[in-house]
Amino acid sequence: MRALLRRALIAAVTTATVAVGVAGTAGAVQNKPLSADYGPVATLTPAVGRDIDGKLVVFSRGSDRSLWYDTQAVPGVGWNGWRNIGNRQLGGKPVADRDASGHLVVFARGTDNALWWRAQTDAGTFGPWLRIGGSLTDDPAVARNADGSLSALVRGTIGELWVWKQDGPDSTTGTWTNLGGGIIGSPAVAAQSDGRLVAVVRGGGDAVYVKTQAVASGAWEADYAYIGGAINTPPAVQRGVDGLLHLLVRGLDNALYELPQTEPSGPFGSYTRVGGDWAAEQFASSRQADGRLSVFGRGSDNAIWTVVETEAGSGKFTAPVTLGGRFASGAAVSVNVDGRLQVFATGTDRQVWSTTQTEPDGRYAGFTITD
C-alpha cells in the first residue's frame, strides 16, 4: 500500500512540476527514498526494445543484481509496473534484441562472467535464464543475422573478440568462434546493407578497428580493418537511411565523432567532429521517422544530450542540444509504434526515467519516471 501511495504522490508532483513549467527531469524527485518496492533501484544503463505487440519494454539491472523489466500498458502509452525476473546474477548491463519470431531476447554478463540470455514467450512474459557460457570481461553486443539467427559478440579474458551464433533462428543452442584481436571494452555490431554483420572495436593505440562477415550469416573475414582515430569509450554503430553504416565514437577530447561508409557495404571514409562534451559511455542512436539519425548520450553535466542529422542521409549533424535531467548512466533509445523516439536513462536517484518526442520528428517532452 505504501508503494502505491508513493507512486500516486510522485505522479502528482511530476504533473505539478510540468504544469508550472519546471523541467520534469530526473532532478525533480531526487529526495525520493531508494526502495526496491517501487522499482529496480536501477544501476547501469538500461536497455529497451519493442515487442511483437508494438509495446516498448525497458530492462534494468537492479541493485540486487537481478533483471527487472517494465512494459508499456498499450503501445506508446503508460506502463504496467516493474517486474523482477532475476536471481541476483547479473554482472553487467542488459542488452536486448528481437529474434526471428519478433520476441525480445535479453543478453547479459552474469556474475560468473558467462553469457546468459532470456527470451520472451508468446504470452509476453519471459522464459527461464539459459546459460550460454564463455568467459566475458565486458557487456555483450547483439545483432540479427540475415538468416534470422542472433549473434552475440563479447570480449574474452585475454582481450580477444568472440562471437556466439545461434544454430538457427529461435534455436536455444549455438556455437562460439574466436575472432582474435586484442580489443578494449565492449564491441559494437550492426548489419550492413548486404546483410553481413560488421563488428566495431577499440583496439591497440585506442584506434578503431572493424571486422566483417565474409558471407552473410556465415564465417568472418580473417583480418581486422584499421579505421584509425583515438577513442576512450566503446564505439557505437548505426545504419542510416542511406544504407551506410555510421560509426559514432567519443574522442580523446570527449567530443562526438562520426565516420560513415563511403558507399553501402563499402569502406569507411573520414571522421567528422560533431562536438560536445560527453561522459565516458557508449552512445545510443536511432533513426527518426523521417530517416534522420539521432544520437544520444550523457554529457559532462550529467544531463542527456542529443544531436540530429540536418537532413536524412546527409551525415551532417546539429550542434548538441540538452534534454535535461541528472543521470548516472548512459542513454538507451527505441522507436514507439507511432514513430516517436523515446529515450531512457538511470537517474542519480537510481530510477529509470524517459522522455518521448511529442510527435514523430518533433521536440521532446520533459523526463518522467518509468513506473
Q: How far apart are CA 331 and CA 328, in angstroms?
A: 10
pLDDT value of residue 34: 40
pLDDT value of residue 27: 41
pLDDT value of residue 9: 32
Q: How far apart are CA 340 and CA 360, in angstroms?
A: 4
Q: 255-305: per-residue pLDDT in tens?
A: 999 999 999 999 999 999 999 999 999 999 999 999 999 999 999 999 999
pLDDT value of residue 284: 98
Q: How far apart are CA 126 and CA 134, in angstroms?
A: 23
Q: For residue 188, how far is the Cα from the chain centroid?
A: 10
Give kind and range of the element (H or E) at residue 105. strand 104-109
C-beta separation of 343 from 2 below 8 A? no
Q: How far apart are CA 26 and CA 351, in angstroms?
A: 8
pLDDT value of residue 6: 34
C-beta separation of 104 from 49 below 8 A? yes
CA-CA-CA-CA torsion for 361, 363, 368, 371, nearest 10 degrees? -10
Alpha-carbon distances, residue 39 vs 22, 155, 342 (angstroms): 24, 31, 19
pLDDT value of residue 40: 81
C-beta separation of 356 from 304 below 8 A? no
- State the SS3 of 66-87: CEEEEECCECCECCCCCEECCC
pLDDT value of residue 287: 98
Mean pLDDT by 10 residues, the chain (371 residues): 36 32 36 47 95 96 95 96 90 96 96 96 90 96 98 97 96 96 97 98 97 98 97 98 97 98 97 98 98 98 98 95 98 98 97 98 96 89
Cell of 312: 536524412
Reduced to 3 states (helix: H, G, I; strand: E, B; else coil), residue 24 is coil
C-beta separation of 342 from 333 below 8 A? yes
Burial of 143 (0-12, 13-18, 19+ CB in 10 A): middle
Q: How far apart are CA 56 and CA 98, in angstroms?
A: 12
Question: Rounded to the nearest 5°, which phi and psi values hold at 279?
Answer: -75, 165
Q: How far apart are CA 143 and CA 163, in angstroms?
A: 11
pLDDT value of residue 39: 67
Ordered domains of the chain (ranges, CATH): 1-33+238-371 (2.120.10.70)
First to last CA, the chain: 15
